[in-house]
Every structure is written in structure tokens, then in C-alpha cells.
Structure 1
Amino acid sequence: MRASDRAYATLRSDIINWRLTPGTVLGEVELSERLSVSRTPIREALAKLTAEGLSEPQSGRGVVVSEISLDHLEELFELRAALECKAAELAAQRRDPVIFLALYEKLSNAGELITAQDPDRADYYQLAGELDSAVDAAVGNHYLNLALKNLRVHLVRVRRLSKDNPVRLRDAAREHAAIALAIAHGNPAVASAATTVHLDNSLRHLLSTAS
């Protein structure tokens, strides 16, 4: 792997997982020393991060980790609604019902995964990721899948704003179960509607916790 790709992957992971918080200065000299690469790969990595919207130039400070504002949240969810509702519709038309019925059963019991013993909610988020992957596979549209992949990078960052509220996560699990069931039954309109409900509830919760 090229030095710039390694630097990009490391910084991207640090930003997504909030090890580098919004507003953090991404200084070339400091990062070069920390990652043991020259400044040229760091510069290339920062250019890719900026193109993705994970970092941004700021007057007088250089490149910084991009902020997540309430305006950005609403814009992000506008795009999310367009992409995810369409994906749910297509998945309902093209799905393997057995896969989505199995996911429905798992998601119906997902509340058991949200415990104090798993503060990072790793098991729950892995299950939610399985639903995303199943939808992507059922849709089978390279360009839609790529757009969703890029969108989810920002959604992982946004997730931290909700503070992993257990009540909200259990509600979200039920909403995901409803989406999986609608897809399993091959009903595009219901799958889209269930996705809309989930996104609306998620956005309202995020706005209430971030304000």
C-alpha cells in the first residue's frame, strides 16, 4: 500500500471514530512525524479527506477536521432519504426473502444487544451493518451502492452526537426490523415508508441531542 493510502486510511478512521474531533488542526509536520511518512503523502491524504468532506481548509489554521453543524445534519438526511428510500424500494423488488426474514428475526431481538456490558454497542451496530449490506446486495446497483457507501462515512461520525442513547437504539432496532420485514414481503411502498419513519425519528433525535 502506498504511503499516502496508509496515511489516508489512518486519518479517515481517526476522524470517523472521533479520535480526531471536529475542528482539530491536521498539521502536515505533526502528522508526518506521527505516521512516519514524508509530508507529500500527508498532503495527498488530506486532499482526499477534503474531497470527501471529512476535512476542510480554514483561514489561518490550515486544514482541520470538518465540523458537524445542525444545517449539515439536515442536508445529510435529505440525501439519506433520497438514497435509502430508493434502495429499500429496489431491495423489496429484487430481494431474497429468506435473507431479510432472518434479519427481521435478529433485529426484533436486537434490544438484547444494547447492554451496559457493550458500551460501544458493537454487536448492535454490526447487526445494523448486516441490514445495510443485505440491502446493497439485493439492489445490485453499483452507482447507488457507491453513493450509499460514501454517505455512511458521514453517518458514522454523526452517530456519536446521539450519545448512543439506549432507548433510541431500541426504537431504531424495531424500525430496522420493520424495514427488513417489508423488504422480505416484497412491498416497495411499505419498505420506503418504513425507511422514512426511521430517518425522521433518527433526525429528530439527533437534533434534540445536538442542540
Structure 2
Amino acid sequence: MRASERAYAQLHSDIINWRLAPGTTLGEVELSERLGVSRTPIREALAKLTAEGLAEPQSGRGTVVSGISLDHLDELFELRSALECRAAELAARRGDRDTFLELHRKLANAGELITEDDPSRSGYYRLAGELDSAVDAAVANHYLNQALKSLRVHLVRVRRLGKDNPARLRDAAREHAAIALAIANGNPAVASAATTVHLDNSLRHLLSTAPDISSEPHD
């Protein structure tokens, strides 16, 4: 793996997992020393992160981790609704019934995975990721899949704003189960409607619990 790819992978992970908070200055010298690579790979990594919207130039400070505000949430969920509802419709038309029935079964019992013994909720998020992957495979549309992949980078960051609330996650699991069942039943309208319900509930929860996080200085 090239040095720029290693630097990008590390910084990408640090940003989406909030080890680098919004507004944190991404100084080339400091990052070069921390990651053990020259400044040229750091510049390449920062350029890629900026293109993805995870970093942004800021006057007088260089490149910083991009902020997340409530305005950004509204915009993000507008795009999410357009992409995910359409993907659910296409999956209902093209997906394998047995695959989604099995996902429905797992998701209906996903509340058991949301425990204090697993504060990262890794089991639940892994299962939610299985549903995303199954929808992507069923859609079989390269351009839609690429758009969803780009969107999910930002959704991982946003998820942390909701504080991984166990009650909300259990509701989300039931909502995911409803989406999976609608796809398994081959009903595009119901799949889209179930997706809309899930997205509306997710956004409402975020708006009620998340602070307005923007690009505040973090050196």
C-alpha cells in the first residue's frame, strides 16, 4: 500500500470515528510526524479527504476536519431519502426473497444484540451493514451504489451524534426488519414507505439529541 493510501486510511478512520473531531486542524507537519510519512503523501491524503467532504480548507488555519451542523443533517437526509428509498424499491423488484427473509428474521431479533456488554453496538451495526450490502447487491446499479457508498461515509459520523441510544437502536432494528420484509415480499411501494419511516424517525431523533456541531477550532 502506498504511503498516501496508508495516510488516507488512517485519517479517514480517525475522522469518521471522531478520534479527530470537527474543526480539528490537519497540519501537514504534525500528521507527517505522527503517521511516519513525508508531507507529500499527507497532502495527497488531505486532498482525497477534502474531495469526500470530510475535510475542508479554512482561512488562516489550513485544512480542518469538516463540521456537521443541523443544516447539514437536513441536507444529508434529503439526499439519503432520495437514494435509499429508490434503492429499496429496486431491491424489492430484483432481490432474492430468501436473502431478505433471513435478514428480516435476524433484524427482528436484533434488540438482543444491543447490550451494555457491547457499548460499540458492533453486533447490531454489523447486521445493519448486512442489510445495506444485500440491498446494494440486489440493486445492481454501479452509479447508485457509488452514491450510496459516498453517503454512508458521512452517515457513520452522524451516527455518533445520536449517542448510540439503546432505545432508538432497538426501534431502528424493527424499522430495518420492516424494510427487509417488504423487499422480501417484492413490494416496492411498501419498501420505500418503510424506508421513509425509518429515515424520518432517525432524523427526528438526531435533531432532538445532537448539538449543533460545526467547525469549531480544535488544535
Per the shorter chain, which TM-score range?
over 0.9
- Distance, in Å, in 1 between the alignment partners of 2:170 and 2:6 is 36
Letter paired with 2:125: Y
* 1:45-85 superposed Cα distances (whole Å, 9 cap, x missing partner): 00110010000111111100000000000000000000000
Letter paired with 1:159: R
- Distance, in Å, in 1 between the alignment partners of 2:85 and 2:73 is 17
Match of 2:146 in 1: 146
- Distance, in Å, in 1 between the alignment partners of 2:55 and 2:86 is 29
Q: Secondary structure at the match of 1:18?
A: coil
Match of 2:187 in 1: 187
Structure 2 length normalisation: TM-score?
0.96
Q: Secondary structure at the match of 2:67?
A: coil
Match of 1:171 in 2: 171
Q: Superposition RMSD on alpha carbons, in Å?
A: 0.5
- Which structure has more RCO (C-alpha within 8 Å, separation ≥ 6)? 2
- Distance, in Å, in 2 between the alignment partners of 1:35 and 1:112 is 39
In the alignment, structure 2 segments of 5+ residues that lack a partner are 212-219
* 1:146-204 superposed Cα distances (whole Å, 9 cap, x missing partner): 10001000000000000000110000000000000000000000000000000000000
Letter paired with 2:130: E
1:123 aligns with 2:123: yes
Match of 1:103 in 2: 103
Identical columns (%): 84
Runs of 4+ in 1 over 4 A off after TM superposition: none
Q: Secondary structure at the match of 2:63?
A: strand
* 1:107-149 superposed Cα distances (whole Å, 9 cap, x missing partner): 0000000000000000000000000000000000011001000
In the alignment, structure 1 segments of 5+ residues that lack a partner are none
1:2 Cα shift?
1.2
Letter paired with 1:82: A
- Distance, in Å, in 2 between the alignment partners of 1:20 and 1:204 is 26
Match of 1:24 in 2: 24
- Distance, in Å, in 2 between the alignment partners of 1:167 and 1:12 is 29
- Distance, in Å, in 2 between the alignment partners of 1:152 and 1:25 is 23
- Distance, in Å, in 2 between the alignment partners of 1:48 and 1:129 is 24
- Distance, in Å, in 2 between the alignment partners of 1:176 and 1:59 is 42
- Distance, in Å, in 2 between the alignment partners of 1:105 and 1:36 is 46
Structure 1 length normalisation: TM-score?
0.99
